[in-house]
Structure 1
Amino acid sequence: MSKEVSGSLLLAWQVKGKHCLVIGSGDVALSRINHLIRANAKITVITGGGHIHEDIVKLHEEGVIYNLVKRNYESRDLKMYEKTSIELDGIEKLINPSHYEEIRQVVEHEVFANVCCCIDDYELSERIYYQCKFLRLPVNIADKPPLCDFYFGSMFNQDNLQIMISTNGKSPRLSKLIKDNIARQFEGIDLNKAVENLGLIRSCLRSNIVIDDDLISIDTRMNWIKQLTDYFSLKEWSHFNLTDENCRKIISYFPEFPPKDYQEFEKIISN
């Protein structure tokens, strides 16, 4: 009998500009808030009646936290921003361009994208979990893996580049150790610059090379950028300062390739 795999679906979750709720105001709540800040979420914090971490107060004073509610959690908090009531009866009528703006308003400005509960009260935490499930809200109950729709792993961040290490809630400390090991391997390399350079070339290729959007043409473009990416090391890609003009010179070779020699490649983009 094969061993059952216990893993999660690791995704990049877009919550930019969307409401996210954090319940609690201690160290764990602060760590959740910091994750959400990096994702540019619109953060609401229900502090509870105890001590509020001074960094949370400071983040609110700086305008980074959208709303700091200094009281105990109430069930109605899960719908605190909801105004629009869209009925799902006859959904085939709802999926119509005339309804798109109303739906976008609800998703981006009224409904919580996720809920993070970071309190010591297990009974209340469990109640919050099932309230979220009833409302179909994704929820994370801190330190209770069975009551989590998603986990917060250890993150290695360099702006455009994010690497997440997750043990599916089993060993957060091990996740951190692995993350620190990855960080040491990339010391002295501006990975964000490498991402920007390759992203600019890819965008330029898609914008300026007009060929059909059939599967063969798409595959040709993908293989071209893949081979070009493999030309140089991460450190070498991080040394370029590419502009739109540089990129046009590079993609002018398509479907052939520019010189693979690093110094020859540099000459092309500097001339």
Structure 2
Amino acid sequence: MSSKFPEVQGGGSLIVAWQIRNKHVLVVGGGEVASGRILHALNADAKVTVVCPKSGLNEEVAYRVAQNQVSHVDRNFEPHDLDNADMVLCAIDDPEASTQVWKLCKERRIPANIADVPPECDFYFGSMHRDGPLQIMVSTNGNGPKLANIVRQKIASTLPQNTGAAIENVGLLRKKLREIAPDTQEGPKRMKW
């Protein structure tokens, strides 16, 4: 074997920064797990619709509904709720209903995450740290979410203060450089930092 190239380590996930700005994200459920999923989607500038009876909304989800941060459908999930969905986040305590949502998403080729059911997820939510434009995610691929939190906290504790602000400044400099030297041949030099 050659050590010239990295070894393949199968079984991982493709870690990407998925751009969902203005995409329609359907959240099925309104409890604690749903509230975390909703916040992640809102932080990514998605358009969020929550399908859940009003009586099932926790305090945070009810707040987001009252503030018009999300749309709310006051009933249980129905298959036609998927009609305009670009992504589905299911966070309900009914395994049969969750599996039904998963199957319908697969039929329609809609990426979905069924909370706490790794085999019924196209993607996972990792443990996140955010400081302005800096986002760090630690994933255990569903094997140990609490361990991911510990690792993320350790990483975040080593970052200098104002890292996010420094990155914003670098972004402004890059933007100015693109304006001054828009030639695509200059891109590789600019991409070094």
Paired residues for 1:50-65 under 5 Å: 50-65=55-70
RMSD: 1.9
Corresponding residue of 1:131: 104
State the distance in 1 between where 2:170 and 2:56 align.
46
The match for 2:92 among 119, 131, 134 is 119
Identity %: 41
Corresponding residue of 1:257: none
Corresponding residue of 1:177: 150
Corresponding residue of 1:220: 189
- Uncovered stretches (5+) of structure 1, i.e. residues with no partner: 80-110, 227-271
Q: Which runs of 4+ in 1 moved over 6 A?
A: none
Corresponding residue of 2:11: 6
C-alpha contact (below 8 Å) 1:48/1:73 kept by paired residues: no
C-alpha contact (below 8 Å) 2:53/2:75 kept by paired residues: yes
Paired residues for 1:197-212 under 5 Å: 197-209=169-181, 212=183
Closer, same or farther: CA 206–170 of 1 in aligned 2, 3 Å:
same
Q: Which structure has more helix as a fraction of its residues?
A: 1
C-alpha contact (below 8 Å) 1:158/1:191 kept by paired residues: yes
Q: TM-score, normalised by structure 2?
A: 0.90
The answer to which of 41-50 and 20-29 deviates more is: 41-50
Task: Give deviations 1:117-141, integer Å, cap 9, x for gaps.
Answer: 1111111111110100111100000
Task: Give deviations 1:24-55, integer Å, cap 9, x for gaps.
Answer: 11111111111111111111001147532011
Larger Rg, first or second structure (1 or 2): 1
Q: Which structure has more strand as a fraction of its residues?
A: 2
The offset of 1:186, in angstroms, is 2.0
Matched, 1:42 2:47: yes
Q: TM-score, normalised by structure 1?
A: 0.65
Secondary structure in 2 matching 1:15? coil
Q: How many residues align?
A: 187
The match for 1:77 among 74, 81, 86 is 81
State the distance in 2 between where 1:219 and 1:73 align.
48
Corresponding residue of 2:3: none
Corresponding residue of 1:90: none
Question: With CA pairs under 8 Å and 6+ residues apart, which has the higher RCO, 1 or 2?
Answer: 2
